[in-house]
């Protein structure tokens, strides 16, 4: 059993280096409201390389979430090309997209989006359930993911018995558990106080240092400061894209 566990964890840690994980080109997204047409994204182009930590900034309503939903394969662009790990996502069926969300992407939401009346462990196991992983392996991997986000010992707690910060950690563990290429986080600290926000950002920084690509939306500059790259949106277009040395945790 010990050997099996090591093997499962080793496979989970293994990730081969690749070039651009995400590449979007001239993405447009129209919404129809009544008989009005509204263009939330007016031609977005950028690429994210393996291992990057990107913060997306911008005023409310500038199209950040719309863009993240497209990156997360939860929504489709009206126009434009999206390559994930070199494959064109635009051509894929709904079920293929479900598979991509399950295997390649991990989503962290502002409102946590955990299942109520369900334990932390079961929430983290859920992506593995849909991946068809056996229950024994599910448990091992979910426990390891919870340990990684600092929640060892809280496996049996229901989500209602956890603090906001702890709930967001469960959500991060759930995003991590299927070994994704990219973690997408839409205002992950939006519902947390500043101390808890710092803890969550420290966790993201650690995960990024272990090689996980992270794209995170925020409108707080001190949160964005943890990222090595900052893309700024305004009214559905990119008005800034800058790289810098990230502020490390504890500075």
Positions in the binding site for other proteins (CB under 8 A): 69, 72, 74-75, 94-95, 98-99, 101-103, 107, 109, 113-115, 117, 126-127, 129-132, 135, 174, 178
Q: Return left, alpha or beta for 168; rule: phi > 0 is left, psi -120 to 50 is alpha, else beta.
A: alpha
In the complex, the smallest distance separating the C-beta of residue 106 from Mg ion, rounded to whole angstroms, is 18
What kind and span of H or E run contains 56?
strand 53-58
State the binding partner of 18 from other proteins, ligand ADP, Mg ion, none, CB within 5 to 8 A by kind: none
Q: How far is CA 240 from CA 3, 44, 66, 230, in A?
A: 49, 12, 18, 8
In the complex, the smallest distance separating the C-beta of residue 229 from other proteins, rounded to whole angstroms, is 25
DSSP state of 161: G
In the complex, the smallest distance separating the C-beta of residue 27 from other proteins, rounded to whole angstroms, is 15
Instruction: Catalog residues that contact Mg ion under the rule CB under 5 A.
Output: 65
- Please give the residues from 60 up to 119 whose contact with ligand ADP meets the rule CB under 6 A: 60-66
- Measured CA to CA, the distance from residue 149 to residue 188 in angstroms comes to 14
Going by their DSSP bridges, the two strands 53-58 and 229-234 should be labelled as parallel
Tell me whether residue 42 or residue 154 sits nearer to ligand ADP (CB atom): 42
With both helix axes pointing from N to C terminus, report the angle between 164-176 and 194-209 in degrees, rounded to the nearest 10. Answer: 20
In the complex, the smallest distance separating the C-beta of residue 67 from ligand ADP, rounded to whole angstroms, is 7
For residue 215, the cross-strand partners are 54, 184
State the binding partner of 102 from Mg ion, other proteins, ligand ADP, none, CB within 5 to 8 A by kind: other proteins
- With tokens 């009005």, the residue in question is 36
Tell me whether residue 62 or residue 178 sits nearer to other proteins (CB atom): 178
DSSP state of 217: E
With H, G, I as helix, E, B as strand and everything else as coil, classify residue 30: strand
Tell me whether residue 18 or residue 115 sits nearer to other proteins (CB atom): 115
Contact residues: ligand ADP, CB under 6 A? 31, 33, 38, 40, 58, 60-66
């Amino acid at each position: 059993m010990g050997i099996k566990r090591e093997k499962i964890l080793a496979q989970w840690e293994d990730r081969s280096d690749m070039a651009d994980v995400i590449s979007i080109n001239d993405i447009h997204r129209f919404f129809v409201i009544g008989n009005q047409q509204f263009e939330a994204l007016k031609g977005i182009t950028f690429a994210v390389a393996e291992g990057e930590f990107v913060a997306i900034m911008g005023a409310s309503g500038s199209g950040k979430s719309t863009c993240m939903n497209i990156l997360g394969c939860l929504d489709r662009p009206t126009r434009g090309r999206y390559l994930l790990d070199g494959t064109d996502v635009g051509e894929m069926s709904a079920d293929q997209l479900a598979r991509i969300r399950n295997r390649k992407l991990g989503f962290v939401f502002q409102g946590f989006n955990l299942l109520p009346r369900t334990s932390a462990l079961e929430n983290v196991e859920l992506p593995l359930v849909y991946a068809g992983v056996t229950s024994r392996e599910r448990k091992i991997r979910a426990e390891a993911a919870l340990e990684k986000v600092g929640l060892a010992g809280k496996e049996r707690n229901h989500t209602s018995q956890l603090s906001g910060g702890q709930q967001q950690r469960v959500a991060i563990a759930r995003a991590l558990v299927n070994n994704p290429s990219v973690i997408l986080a839409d205002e992950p600290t939006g519902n947390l106080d500043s101390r808890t926000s710092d803890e969550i950002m420290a966790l993201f920084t650690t995960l990024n240092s272990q090689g996980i690509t992270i794209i995170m939306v925020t409108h707080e500059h001190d949160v964005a400061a943890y990222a090595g790259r900052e893309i700024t949106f305004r009214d559905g277009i990119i008005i800034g894209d800058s790289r810098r040395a990230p502020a490390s945790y504890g500075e």
